[in-house]
Amino acid sequence: MKRKILEFVQRTGYKPLKAKSLAKRLGVTKKNQAQFQAALQSLMESGELREGPDGRLRPRMAAGLLVGIVKRTSRGTGVFIPHDADEAPTKREILIAAADMRDAHTGDEVLVRLLKRRGAGGRRCGRIEQILERATNQFVGTYFEAGGSGYVQVVGKTFTEPILVGDPGAKGAKPGDKVVVEMLRYPSQTHSGEAVITKVLGPQNAPGVDELSITHEFGLRDEFPEEVLEDARRQAQQFDETHLDGRVDLTKEIIVTIDPADARDFDDAISLTRSRDGHWHLGVHIADVSHFVESGSALDREARLRGNSVYLPGRVLPMLPELISNGLASLQQGRVRYTKSVLIEFTPEGIPVHTEFARSAIRVTRRFAYEQVMAIIEQPERFRTRVSAKVRKLLAMMYELAMILRRRRLEAGALELDVPEIELEYDDDGRVVGAHAVEHDESHQIIEEFMLAANMAVAQELDDRGIPFMRRAHGAPNPTKLKAFAQFVSALGYKLERYQSRFELQKLLNQVKGKPAESAVNYALLRSMKQAEYTGEPLGHYALAVENYCHFTSPIRRYPDLTVHRLIDGILEGRKRVPGPNELELTRLGKHCSLTERKADAAERELIKVKLLRYFADRIGEVMEAVITGVERYGLFCRGVDLPVEGFIHISWLSDHDNFYYDASSMSLVGRQSGRQYRLGDVIEVMVAHVDLDRRELDFALPTRKAKRRLARSAVEEPATESPPKKQPSERKTKRPTAKRSRRSSSSSRQAKKRKGRR
């Protein structure tokens, strides 16, 4: 079997396939499936076979050839990062000259040959030999006409020149419309790009067009196929809430949900009692989504493809049709709903001593919004006429146990980063009109602690039984990054000698709480850590300080949770061998779900960024407070205090009468004449100087007389920011007085619903 696989993937013209497709091409039968999987595992462990981030299989590369992802810069050059560079990607970066880029673009998976020459800073150089897979063929941009032809200026900085789309008016597009294009020929140094319009989204300023643009830009699925909707309807017809055979009837128990005020789907509920010996008996009841979404069904295939729900400002793209996510599986107040319950017994000190699982049925006694809970807990008598005594007692016990569990977690070395959240406010057309801070009080911590407890209990049970399962892993940070973080906080005046100790890191976070450096330190530590991921490998969870962890508590909106529910089904059915994916399949599925999760987060951030840029496009010259989040030799990155938008101040805008230089020891820009310092974490006044909606860039300036005069002149000379591009493809781009740089996307608030088990 190993020989057959290798012969197939090494032959000329082989196009990378996923394991399932490869098995089909090789004629692998059900009888030989186990042998095929074992052969794949062996070949991957020996390095003779590689699996890309897309799950496609490729043979081992020849010496001097590497596979990875390339990022194209605005100058046409590239930065290539091999797939095996997870530990220290900055050290593994390979420079690609513009002449060696072919027509590769950001996100493409490419095959690179190492060259003997070295680039800036002694970094290695390479040449792209082959483009293995495009990141996407679909792009969104603004349509305009010039010289009797139609062009599209693609949003962002992916393409510096407009893309030809043929005769004017294709697909009914009008100048200024946002359109979706399919790339026919990618631009390179030797030829221009060419595409075809596949969809017209509408005028760029029209309500809802920004949402449609982001949805298409990130390739998000916004409609369900008819067979999926039909499957959901069939489940609705079959559901009978009076049919509780095989389920523990908990419909008479006092059970509550706590969610955001505007939540539409409710996938977790809580019960809690205390026995005479002082032991706590916690019930975490999770929507039994696996009852409705059968493995291999149309619903399951679509949910697996999506990986998770996507939360965009003003719109949710659910993983499951609303008939399931907001109906059958949603734990609505007063309705009988099917659940899977994790029943955990704790000692009075919060030590878990026993765990059980059950298929159950519940009827939620009372639904609460986060904002209501703490007032009831702190002043129960005020609510005696509105909230029953039993429910008030339940909330008080929930608070007491949650704080015990929280204290034990932190004492065990768990990290608690405090990254402030700002929630944007929108008008009826989806335009930003303001913002407010999201309060993350003890009511959120109550639910978070119970979700963490349930997730850890499930993971521990599956690990004890030796059942492979989808883990939520968070690898330990690279020591080099932590050392750099220690040097950074030292420049701010804080000591961190044992930077690899979670206890020392948490001590530092406590030290900076409420101080000017708090935001900068928390963001810097967050950037020093690895991203959490889904995997079948037992990598542990660094931030939570536990060996076994998984996601179980949100199967309505996360596919990995659904896979874990099915394993619990197998345990409850008493099977000796619980059916489920093996470790290789889990690794593949984990990569897919990690990718869809990151894509969803990136889409949310980008849409918030677009809305904020539109907001500031009408406010050139407005002054606001901002925190310095990055210091470079050429200027400062700043983030708004009241509105979470990130912009850049070029060094030339810092002063009317001073020159600034970069001081590496303090990581600051220092004025040669005045001695004025700008450091990370400083709060400063900034002025909105320039907004580029097509490139999605925002420039700030300090509100000096010189800056105000320059803005006044540019307001007279420059056309309106939101006007469609007028330039011909051959025209040179007019440069603004800012340095070339890489930008971080604007920060965004997370919907409170996503906090549950978010780690």
What is the tens place of the pLDDT at every residue in 90-137? 457 899 999 999 999 998 988 899 898 888 777 889 999 988 888 899
The answer to whether residue 80 is domain-embedded is yes
231 and 341 assigned to the same domain: yes
The CA angle 75-93-679, to the nearest 5 degrees, is 75
For residues 429 and 365, membership in a common domain is answered with yes
CATH number at residue 93: 2.40.50.140
Task: Note whether 348 and 392 are same-domain residues.
Answer: yes
Q: Look at residue 253 in the predicted model and tell me its pLDDT.
A: 97
CATH number, domain with residue 176: 2.40.50.690
> Which has the higher per-residue pLDDT, 572 or 727?
572
- From 80, 98, 133, the end of a domain falls on 133
Rounded CA separation 605/610 (Å): 9
The whole-number pLDDT of residue 736 equals 40
- C-alpha closest to that of 267 among 372, 346, 317, 341: 341
Instruction: Say whether pLDDT at 723 is over 60.
Output: no
The span from the CA of 124 to the CA of 286, in Å, is 51
Question: Are residues 564 and 463 part of one domain?
Answer: yes
Q: Which residue has the higher pLDDT, 221 or 89?
A: 221
745 located within any domain: no
190 and 294 assigned to the same domain: no
What are the DSSP calls for 152-218, one per residue?
A: EEESTTS-SS-EEEESTTGGG--TTEEEEEEEEE---SSS--EEEEEEEEEETTSTTHHHHHHHHHT
What does the alpha-carbon distance between residue 403 and residue 400 come to, in Å, rounded to a whole number? 5
H/E stretch holding 627 reads: strand 623-632
CA distance 578 to 566: 9
- Beta-carbon contacts of 453 under 8 Å, excluding residues fewer than 6 positions away, are 282, 284, 344, 352, 405
Domain count, the chain: 6
Quickly count: other Cβ atoms within 10 Å of residue 3's Cβ.
8
Question: Are 508 and 543 within one domain?
Answer: no
pLDDT digits (tens, 9 = 90+) for 644-684: 889 999 998 888 788 999 987 777 899 999 999 998 778 89
CATH number at residue 34: 1.10.10
From 605, 635, 661, the end of a domain falls on: 605
Q: Compute the distance between CA of residue 468 and CA of residue 582 in angstroms, rounded to an integer.
A: 6
Q: Are residues 423 and 542 in the same domain?
A: yes
Q: Considering the domain boundaries, does residue 744 fall inside one?
A: no
How high is the pLDDT of residue 122?
Answer: 79
Q: Given the DSSP bridges, would you call strands 256-259 and 366-369 parallel, antiparallel or unpaired?
A: parallel
In a domain, 615, yes or no: no
Cβ(89)–Cβ(81) below 8 Å = yes
Q: Under a CB-based contact definition with an 8 Å cutoff, are residues 39 and 76 in contact?
A: no
Q: How confident is the model at residue 53 (pLDDT cuts 50, 70, 90)?
A: low
Helix (H/G/I), strand (E/B), else coil: 570: helix
Residue 85 has a pLDDT of 54
* Identity of the highest mean pLDDT range in 205-209, 468-472, 731-735: 468-472
What is the length of the chain? 759
Going by pLDDT thresholds of 50, 70 and 90, the confidence category of residue 720 is very low
Q: Using alpha carbons, select from 16, 33, 61 the residue that is nearest to residue 585.
A: 33
Name the nearest CA neighbour of 221 among 139, 298, 289, 307: 307
Same domain, 274 and 350: yes
At 667, the amino acid letter reads M
DSSP state, 324? I
Tell me which residue range forms the domain holding 516.
479-528
Residue 754: inside a domain, yes or no?
A: no
SS3 label, residue 149? strand
Provide the pLDDT confidence category of residue 700 given band limits of 50, 70 and 90.
very high
The partner residues of 262 in beta bridges, in order of sequence, read none
- Domain boundary, last residue among 574, 605, 636: 605
To the nearest whole number, what is the mean pLDDT of the chain? 88
Angle subtended by helix axes 209-217 and 583-617, to nearest 10: 150
Residue 594: closest CA among 533, 538, 536, 531 = 533
Residue 744 pLDDT greater than 60, yes or no: no
539 and 511 housed in the same domain: no
Q: Is there a domain that residue 502 lies in?
A: yes
Tokens of 481: 């990054």
Closest to 20 in 3D by CA, of 36, 38, 2, 39 = 36
Inter-axis angle of helices 442-464 and 559-572, nearest 10: 50
Cα 436 from chain centroid? Answer: 22
Instruction: Give a yes or no: residue 430 inside a domain.
Output: yes
- What percentage of residues in the chain have a pLDDT greater than 90? 58
Interatomic CA distance for residues 154 and 578, integer angstroms:
49
CA distance 112 to 484: 30
Backbone angle region of 274, left / alpha / beta, with phi > 0 → left and psi within -120 to 50 → alpha? beta
CA angle 522–527–529, rounded 5-degree value: 100
Mean pLDDT value across residues 604-614: 92
How far is Cα 288 from Cα 556, in angstroms, rounded to an integer? Answer: 9
Residue scoring higher pLDDT (47 or 363): 363
CB 572 within 8 A of CB 505: no
CA distance 412 to 407: 9
Same domain, yes or no: 466 and 489: no
**Residue ranges of E strands in 388-462:** 422-426, 432-437
- Predicted pLDDT of residue 738: 38
CB atoms within 10 A of CB 656: 11
Q: What is the pTM of this model?
A: 0.85
pLDDT (tens digit per residue) in 289-328: 999 999 999 999 999 999 999 999 888 999 999 999 999 9
Q: What is the pLDDT of residues 508-562, one digit of tens each?
A: 999 988 887 787 888 889 888 999 999 999 999 999 999 999 999 999 999 999 9
> Are 258 and 354 found together in one domain?
yes
Tokens of 236: 């609705």
Average of pLDDT values for 462-489?
Answer: 92
140-191 pLDDT per residue, tens: 999 999 999 999 999 988 888 899 999 898 899 999 999 999 999 999 888 8
The pLDDT assigned to 757 comes to 46
pLDDT band with cut points at 50, 70 and 90 for residue 368? very high
Residues 6+ apart with CB under 8 A from 733: 160, 727
Whole-angstrom distance, CA of residue 10 vs CA of residue 58: 8
Q: Where are the alpha helices (DSSP H) in 513-557?
A: 518-528
Residues 414 and 360 in one domain: yes
Listed range (482-491, 503-512, 714-723) with the worst mean pLDDT: 714-723
What DSSP state is assigned to residue 75? T
Residue 716 binned pLDDT confidence (cut-offs 50, 70, 90): low
State the DSSP code for 633.
T
Q: In this predicted structure, what is the pLDDT of residue 471?
A: 96
Q: Is residue 90 assigned to a domain?
A: yes
